[in-house]
Chains A and B, each alone.
Chain A
């Protein structure tokens, strides 16, 4: 079955650490996205990518970094510069950036600072 796989499901970060969240899709989608979800808030866009080796900042990119070396993969690194990283992180994809279609989401990674 085609879909998006996010790993790990739960992740714990110590103060000052960088951590990387994995997102892999086998839908042959060009466009991929990272969102942050906090309780009572909507989905906030962190980064998105239209094509391999290209990505754009979203609304809350500070303290995060991404790479897009392969079409299937769009990992998100939460750096130590992100002061409040505890949240639920969602990866999504769709056929193309200029696609008038909805997203396919992964099952999410819950990141907690310890």
Chain B
């Protein structure tokens, strides 16, 4: 089955800095890669996603890049703000089987004012 590794587990930055979270996956059939943000005590929220026919996608201060050859994808947050502090999860999903995503273990991002 699919295996998703996410690094780092904790990331601490100063307000205004950039933050990068990386995920690797094992199944070359995976073709959909969502990212979720989970604030304390709340459910995860989909913030950006990318499909395998695209190498990069941006939405304001966040972007995701995908390298299919190396089987890794990354979340980039620029000009970080304290409200970006949360746990971020990546996931990989293939169109085979039941389309159930495999999640990474999460990255706790702390943005210091």
Contact = CB atoms under 8 A, between A and B. Distances in A.
A103 B42 CA distance: 14
B42 to A, nearest CB: 6
Contact of A42 (B32, B49, B89, B98): B89
A105 B93 contact: no
Interface residues of A, number: 25
Contacts of A40: 9, 105-106
B103 A43 contact: yes
Contacts, number: 58
B45 interface: yes
Interface in B86-105: 89, 91, 93, 95, 98-101, 103-105
A97 B105 CA distance: 23
B113 interface: no
A48 B43 contact: no
A90 B99 contact: no
